[in-house]
A and B are shown apart, each in its own frame.
Chain A
């Protein structure tokens, strides 16, 4: 077997491969949300990591306060985070339309600091455990590795949401509007489409994706106020590598970067924290527009 030839026990190799796949699934969902938001608002949502964290906290609150478990949270938490996003867009980001888009980045950066600071103050910097749903406890021995059910579920659920987003954008009327809004918002408005509403919805949807990822992450990483703080920077690198031009591009790049990171953990553990940034540097030298980017 290949893994044995390379001198690594297969459990280690496939274990890290699975971890990489899971991380990649998170990168994919998060960078997809960034791409959706970027398409219509032309801003990079720095608060994405903080909103991902909010998703995890929302599922924790749902459990503790209302007694709503994981499956309910999977639907409700993204709706809650999405609603928060709609408020942010409607009352804060909209005031910045028409001026340099860098201010949007700065505003969301400030928001991220406020949200994270608030939760660190209230809940401390250590994590709060969130139980794995009963139906997904345990796992299956595949012979070459042990696959915990929950980990497998995360990958499947993340890919399903990505596929749904692709379908929404490429195969529905509202998706056609969204794509048209990305291309030429003024013309779309002239055709009688309510572009400001569309923009609000796009931000809400992109942010809801982050909330969804937060719920998926809660049983794995615990619910931690700083869980999105460093993750968002890696996702930025993923976005630079893939470019924000296409949905499938974001998904493929996200998964691929997760797998590369996982493999690096096996072969060169010291470099695993930085390998994605190194890939970004190489891509910038060879193909500055990004792998799936349309313009330079």
Chain B
């Protein structure tokens, strides 16, 4: 009973939000929330720590930026192009990375993402240090003018909800159960006859695809794709968001993204702006040492204790 009600309240809040809070800020949170949820799909449910997800987020951002600016595609197709490209790249990276486990998996994804970073630094179409600027927002379905921030917000909200629904459906499907089985005991999953490699690859590719969707949408919102999006610091940031919100909880990473983006906004305007990396790193260390369940994880544990 309570679950549908909670979902309805959340939806109502999301629909009303842009009338109370600056829409661009909300859109940024939604894009990063989707990115973090996509990342959590393989860390929280597959137990695979990818340190290269910025490559999918930022790679899709570049492809979409290029598709909208140079090819002049409609907005939806531009986002689709970025998303598909991220998925394809995810399949390649996943194919290589799943050959090793644990710490090696993290190092391999990081190294391959760094390779992608160097590609984007030197490629002609990415605009080098400047990135792709002035990407047109265009029209949704050819009807709604997305230069209007409110229209853009609802467009981003629909993208977020679609991506989130795919993740939720995956997690609650039999395939999601297999993923958790692999996370908890890979050898046992193998002995039960599951094709572990295939499941991992599928999850990784899906995660990369949705991370790409988030990056592509971000490009449309900010009309910008830059090296920041593909840098390894971005990969670290999404790990932090997920960890802070709650690894392996469905909605936790979205909360984590909200907190981190708000904090960055808050610090950036104050006297502490130069200290942002230090503060982020310190939160990271604190989370690992004393707050491993994250916001939503702690909350859920508290609820369990009190009932």
Contacts and interface: CB of A to CB of B under 8 A. Distances in A.
Contact of A92 (B112, B275, B285): B285
B178 interface: no
B260 to A, nearest CB: 13
Nearest to B92: A281
B268 interface: no
Given A113-B281, A114-B285, A236-B107, A277 B114 contact: yes
Interface string B265-289: 0000000001111101111110111
A288 to B, nearest CB: 4
A207 interface: no
Nearest to B275: A121
A68 interface: no
B115 A277 contact: yes
15 contacts: A96-B289, A102-B106, A105-B49, A105-B106, A109-B284, A113-B281, A115-B281, A117-B281, A237-B111, A274-B115, A277-B112, A277-B115, A280-B111, A280-B112, A285-B96
A46 to B, nearest CB: 9
B109 to A, nearest CB: 10
Given A106-B243, A284-B99, A274 B284 contact: no
Interface string A239-267: 11000000000000000000000000000
Interface string B82-113: 00000000000000100110111011101110
A78 B200 CA distance: 42
Given A236-B110, A277-B111, A285-B96, A106 B288 contact: yes
Interface in A86-127: 92, 95-96, 99, 101-103, 105-107, 109-118, 120-121
Contacts of B278: 113-114, 117-118, 121
Contact of B281 (A38, A42, A103, A111): A111
Interface residues of B, number: 39
Given A92-B285, A107-B288, A110-B284, A240 B104 contact: yes
Contacts of A270: 122
Nearest to B119: A274
B195 to A, nearest CB: 17
B204 interface: no
A243 to B, nearest CB: 9
Contacts of B41: none
Given A240-B111, A277-B112, A277-B115, A110 B99 contact: no
A105 B307 CA distance: 35
A156 interface: no
B285 A111 contact: yes
A174 interface: no
B280 A113 contact: yes
A212 B164 CA distance: 48
B281 A284 contact: no
B115 A107 contact: no
Contact of B106 (A38, A44, A115): A44
A176 interface: no
Interface of A: 38, 42-44, 92, 95-96, 99, 101-103, 105-107, 109-118, 120-121, 230, 233-234, 236-237, 239-240, 270, 273-274, 277-278, 280-281, 284-285, 288, 296
B288 A116 contact: no
B231 to A, nearest CB: 10
Contacts, number: 116
Contact of B277 (A44, A120, A240, A278): A120
B114 A233 contact: yes
Question: Which 9 pairs across A and B sit closest by C-beta, in order of nearness?
Answer: A110-B284, A113-B281, A117-B277, A114-B281, A277-B115, A117-B278, A110-B285, A288-B99, A237-B111
A31 B32 CA distance: 34
B96 A96 contact: no
A276 to B, nearest CB: 8
B232 interface: yes
Contacts of A277: 111-112, 114-115
A71 B285 CA distance: 35
A21 B292 CA distance: 42
B100 A110 contact: no
B239 interface: yes
Nearest to B280: A113
Contact of A110 (B232, B275, B288, B292): B288
Given A105-B49, A274-B118, A277-B114, A95 B281 contact: no
Contacts of A274: 115, 118-119
Contact of A43 (B99, B103, B115, B283): B103
